[in-house]
Chains A and B, each alone.
Chain A
Amino acid sequence: MSDYRDELIKKLDREIRRWERETLPKSLKRFPERMDRFTTLSGIEVKRFYTPLDIKDFNYFERLGLPGEYPFTRGIHSTMYRGRLWTMRMFSGFGTAEDTNRRLKFLVAHGETGLSLAFDYPTLLGIDSDDPLAHGEVGVTGVAVDTLKDMEIIFDGINLGEVTTNMTINPPAPILYSMYLAVAEKQGVPMDRVGGTTQNDPLKEFIAQKSYIFPPEAAVKIAMDLVEYSVKHTPKWNPISISGYHIREAGSTAVQELAFTIADGIAYVRHLIERGLDVDSFAPRLSFFFDAHINFFEEIAKFRAARRMWAKIMKEWFNAKKERSLWMRFHTQTAGVSLTAQQPFNNIVRTAIEALAAVLGGTQSLHTNALDEPFRVPSEFAAKVALRTQQIIAYETGVADVVDPLAGSYYVEWLTDKVEEEAWKYIDRIERMGGMIEAVRKGYPQKELTEASYRYQREVEEGIRKIVGVNIFVEEEDEEIRNVPLLDIDPIETEERQKARLKEIKRSRDNARVESALNNLRSAARRGENIIPYVLEAVKVYATEGEIMNVLKEVYGVWTEPIIY
């Protein structure tokens, strides 16, 4: 066998040199290549074609293994989508709780299989709708949540024992998690049956998404309180979704997205171990979230490399013993940043290609962006087309019928190795800085992103990166951009409705109980205790999100970002 392989390698080497002398020059003369250098979106140079020569030291069992087995390159489950399709989870929310309740029911009626809540900016930052800072932002990019009442309405008629819900929420994650549990309790669903995800990933907030509140160390402490509480009381909940998505959208390369996300994950694992938790008690509940960008093969390589890297880290660095501790389970969203305002219907095609990459990369759940998202949160029509895109991939194309179908492609395996190799270099650098919390404080990943996004924009300007409708095939009279139907929302009316409800809650609740719950939270936070039980107590008596956040800000302080551009 190995003689045969050596023979093949030798022959290939000879044959390629011959091909370069005899065949190639003729082609180049007739059809000069379109570019001097072909690179992936992350700047990795790719060759004309790949052969066994490019992966000549490839050890199948070391690099790939079998599906559902270490190092999980081929997927975390042995039958993958033959057994169960990925969860079709559409990120949605706008206006008030009633508007969002209707949208969730609409999506479920059209075949959505998991829920995902988008909150407005005031909610993301822990600001109540009646705060002057919230003016103009209430219910615009997501649903407004001030108290438990809003969450009760959002999930009215939706059984929390039967669906799982992702909540994209970070500094206020303990509050929204507690509200969700409180709604479940009112519905009679026990805690150990409640399933879903809180994003709750503070480090990427400093790197990319910028909805930070607390300083890095406090932010990590609070987030890990949630992880610690959740693994004990809500075993089906994913208390954290370690996110590369926002890092990528803020301008990183695929390699940086992968490396920074894993480095964030390492920081959390270390923190939890230092708290005295056994790695196998929490590792199976860590989940991840990646971007599916437009450079097709590079994305697939990234997903495959991600699983392999995480499994190795958990096994070799942290001595995890349970198989599930080695699994990198991830959600994927197609790249919002790849969508164009120009000729917006083309966005359906971009999203379909990106979604296909996510599926070929073995994602556990998927959100597909809507064509109108360069302008506003999606209309019902646009959201439905995006959901249908996933259903077409799942039920018509046959790509879900074979596990990891691109394995063994010389190119895909070479690229998977290459992406992994480059990502390790970043991880090594961050380790030498003392880990991600320290790197974030120094502004290292922030600076890397600024550089990468500027480099990319220059490449677009110079025409090296081509975008249909933006720098090629531009239409002076773009009919579509004017005719695309947008969701009709009236932010002023929404804000008034929301403020009226909040006022009514503040009037009708037992304010003495609110006061005492907030005081208990304050003392617990000061003592350095896990804050979750106290947050839970506060939300149940209808303390507002802003009131709870203000207590936490008082104790933990707030973060001011060093300005880097």
Chain B
Amino acid sequence: MFGMTTTVTKRYKVLVAKLGLDGHDRGAKVVARALKDAGFEVIYTGIRQTPEQVVEAAIQEDVDVIGVSILSGAHMTLMARLMELLKEYGADDIPVFLGGTIPIPDLPKLYEMGIRDIFLPGTSLNTIIEKVFEAAKERRSKSRY
């Protein structure tokens, strides 16, 4: 199976979300499945989610990480709204990852919004698993104090 040589003993919870109107769910599903196989508890939202719905699900399910997939090109508007809502609800300690067809010139602005990492097409599943694991671990260790 993929990647993680260490077993994820704590069942970290990840929300995999398809934000926006596009139906390209192949990547989101492959990532959701890989995270599940690596030991994470995964909640997949299904397609056509609004930022409001994603934030609500993240808070309700008390997830450790949010992974967003967008292939519609609407990432600038939708991610800005998502990050704003997380702050509004005091949930901006949840690390957010973004994957999809993101043009390189957009990256700096997206990082400025507070997105932890952006996975471009071709990113290996192992890399995704490792980075999500690290982010989840970090958040738990911080929230303990």
A interface with B by C-beta (< 8 Å)? 121-122, 124-125, 127, 133-137, 140-141, 205, 209-211, 249-251, 337, 340-342, 374-377, 449-450, 453-454, 457-458, 461, 467, 469-471, 481-482, 486, 491-492, 561, 563-565
Contacts and interface: CB of A to CB of B under 8 A. Distances in A.
B20 A137 contact: yes
B76 A491 contact: yes
B2 interface: yes
A250 B20 contact: no
B23 A470 contact: no
A561 B102 CA distance: 26
24 contacts: A121-B72, A127-B21, A135-B77, A136-B78, A137-B20, A137-B72, A137-B77, A140-B73, A210-B23, A250-B26, A341-B121, A374-B101, A375-B101, A376-B101, A377-B73, A454-B34, A457-B125, A461-B125, A469-B122, A486-B105, A491-B74, A563-B44, A563-B46, A565-B28
A461 B126 contact: yes
Give 8 nearest A-B pairs by CB, closest first: A210-B23, A136-B77, A121-B21, A136-B74, A140-B73, A565-B29, A375-B103, A341-B121
Given A140-B74, A340-B122, A563-B46, 13 more contacts: A121-B74, A141-B22, A209-B23, A251-B26, A374-B121, A375-B101, A376-B101, A453-B29, A453-B30, A457-B34, A461-B2, A482-B104, A565-B32
B22 A450 contact: no
Given A375-B104, A481-B104, A122 B21 contact: yes
Given A135-B77, A136-B77, A137-B74, A457 B21 contact: no
Interface string B19-44: 01111111011101110000000001
A125 B50 CA distance: 15
Contacts of B122: 340-342, 467, 469-470
Nearest to A205: B23
A205 B47 CA distance: 13
B21 A133 contact: yes
A127 to B, nearest CB: 8
A470 B102 CA distance: 16
A117 B26 CA distance: 24
B50 to A, nearest CB: 7
B5 to A, nearest CB: 15
Interface string B54-78: 0000000000000000001110111
Contacts of A461: 2, 124-126
Given A461-B126, A482-B104, A136 B120 contact: no
Nearest to A489: B73
Nearest to A469: B122
Which secondary structure dominates where chain B touches chain A? loop
Contacts of A136: 20, 74, 76-78
B30 A457 contact: yes
B50 A133 contact: yes
Contacts of A340: 121-122
Contacts of B24: 210, 250
Contacts of B30: 251, 453-454, 457
Nearest to B50: A133
Contacts of A342: 122
A450 to B, nearest CB: 6
A137 B22 CA distance: 9
Contacts of B102: 375
A409 B20 CA distance: 47
Contacts of B126: 461
A481 to B, nearest CB: 6
Nearest to A124: B21
Contacts of A565: 28-29, 32-33, 44
B23 A211 contact: yes
A482 B22 CA distance: 25
Contacts of A486: 103, 105
Contacts of A341: 101, 120-122
Contacts of B74: 121, 136-137, 140, 491
A561 B50 CA distance: 16
Contacts of A458: 2
Nearest to B120: A341
Given A133-B21, A376-B101, A561 B46 contact: yes
Contacts of B78: 136
Contacts of A125: 21
B113 to A, nearest CB: 14
Nearest to B2: A461
A377 B35 CA distance: 30
A450 B29 contact: yes
A186 to B, nearest CB: 30
Most A-side CB within 10 Å, residue of B20, B22, B120, B126: B22
A137 B121 contact: no
Contacts of A211: 23
Contacts of B44: 563, 565
A225 B111 CA distance: 48
Nearest to B78: A136
A471 B30 CA distance: 18
A164 to B, nearest CB: 27
A449 B44 CA distance: 17
A141 B72 contact: yes
Nearest to B18: A210
A141 B104 CA distance: 17
B44 to A, nearest CB: 5
Most A-side CB within 10 Å, residue of B2, B22, B28, B73: B73
A210 B33 contact: no
Contacts of A457: 30, 34, 125
A150 B48 CA distance: 25
A561 B73 contact: no
Contacts of A491: 73-74, 76-77
B122 to A, nearest CB: 4
Nearest to B42: A565
Contact of A454 (B25, B33, B73, B76): B33
A140 B78 CA distance: 13
A140 B21 CA distance: 11
Nearest to B103: A375
Contact of B47 (A133, A210, A450, A453): A210
